[in-house]
Amino acid sequence: MNCLETIQAYAFRSIGFGERLLPRSDFTLCDQFTLIGSGMLWNIYFGAIALVFGFVFATALALAKNSPFRGLRKPAEWFIFLFRGSPLFIQFFFAYFLFLNLKALSPLFDSFTAAAVGALIVLFLNTSAYSAEIFYGALRSVPKNDIEAADAYGLTGMAKFRRIVWPTMMRLAWPSYTNEAIFLFHATTLVFFSGFPSWKQQGDALYYASYFADKTFNPFVPYPILAFYFILLTLCVISLFGMVNRRLNRHVSQTQRKRMRIRMNLIR
């Protein structure tokens, strides 16, 4: 098989199109590049969807945590502590077995034990908690003058929040939120190592990388390929979020802008 045929056969292997059997021997560099790249589709799927829904929920959580009402504040604080205080790995395991038990109770939960749904829910809740903490911090540091000016203009309630508080909160939170996004994409690699089974050997990038490392007993090829893909993905995320950051900061003078600092990634 030449490289073009390999790409045709395996480029969408991770989502169930193309060749059914994985290569079993004589692994070429092309095989590894194609399959690990194919697995990246899962990482992007998990990361992108969790990020979009997580953004909305995190905003709500941050507001709830900042609320003067105990009934709103306490649940939000507990939710954030629960997901930030425990390892994502354990959260995955717990959620998988929880869904397994729920499945026995009602057929409603049938699809939840599949990684595509169950793991996505966990990632969504997890990133919501982390982002909510970032947004909460930003909300607390919205300048007092901005709020006073809004009051002076007679803005109240939703209009004040949408036009004054929220844009400033986003602007302040954005550099940290970019890190959170990068971090979330890295965290998606945990899915198939934590309870959630891969169906018909359709897994994410790390799943295929470790498949090759196991088969060839040579970690020095598949893992650097994985690293290459992730650095590429990280650069894409940075440039995408950088564009948003420039838009959020377009009214701020050059010298006062908060620089985007890409911090190291850590395990959650």
Is residue 177 classed as helix, strand or coil in its secondary structure? Answer: helix
Query: CA-CA distance, 96 to 122, in Å (whole number)?
Result: 9
Stretch that binds another protein, among 55-63, 78-86, 121-129, 247-255 (CB under 8 A): 78-86
> Judged by CB under 8 A, which of 22, 44, 98, 150 binds another protein?
98
Contacts within 8 Å (CB) and 24+ apart, 125-128: 125/83, 126/50, 126/83, 126/88, 126/91, 126/184, 126/187, 126/268, 127/50, 127/51, 127/54, 127/58, 127/180, 127/184, 128/53, 128/54, 128/57, 128/58, 128/61, 128/83
Cα separation of 43 and 52, whole Å? 14
- Does 190 bind another protein (CB under 8 A)? Our answer is yes
* Beta carbon nearer to another protein, 35 or 165: 35
Taking CB under 8 A as the rule, does residue 109 contact another protein? no
Q: For residue 115, give the amino acid letter.
A: A
Distance CA 183, CA 188 (A): 9
In three-state secondary structure terms, 181 is helix
How far is the C-alpha of 154 from the C-alpha of 106, rounded, in Å?
52
* The binder of another protein chosen from 2, 68, 70, 85 (CB under 8 A): 85
Q: Name which of 107 and 157 has its Cβ closer to another protein.
A: 107
Q: Which has the closest alpha carbon to 46: 236, 192, 235?
A: 192
Stretch that binds another protein, among 3-11, 110-118, 125-133, 220-228 (CB under 8 A): 220-228
Specify the residue, 149 or 231, whose C-beta has the smaller distance to another protein: 231
CB of 47 or CB of 248, closer to another protein: 47
By CB under 8 A, residue 25 contacts another protein = yes
Q: Give whole-number Cα distances, 35 to 10, 12, 47, 119, 175, in Å.
A: 6, 8, 19, 21, 33
Told to check if 50 binds another protein by CB under 8 A, we report: no
Binding to another protein, residues 117-176 (CB under 8 A): none
Q: Which of residues 224-243 bind another protein (CB under 8 A)?
A: 226-227, 230-231, 234
- Based on the shown chain and the rule CB under 8 A, indicate whether residue 264 belongs to the binding site for another protein: yes
Least gap, CB of 263 to another protein (angstroms): 8
Q: CB of residue 206 vs another protein: minimum separation in angstroms?
A: 6
With binding defined as CB under 8 A, does residue 7 bind another protein? Answer: no
Told to check if 57 binds another protein by CB under 8 A, we report: no
Q: Extract the tokens encoding 129.
A: 């908690």
Which parts of this chain interact with another protein (CB under 8 A)?
25, 81-82, 85-91, 93-94, 97-98, 100-101, 186-187, 189-190, 193, 206, 209-210, 213, 215-220, 223, 226-227, 230-231, 234, 264-268
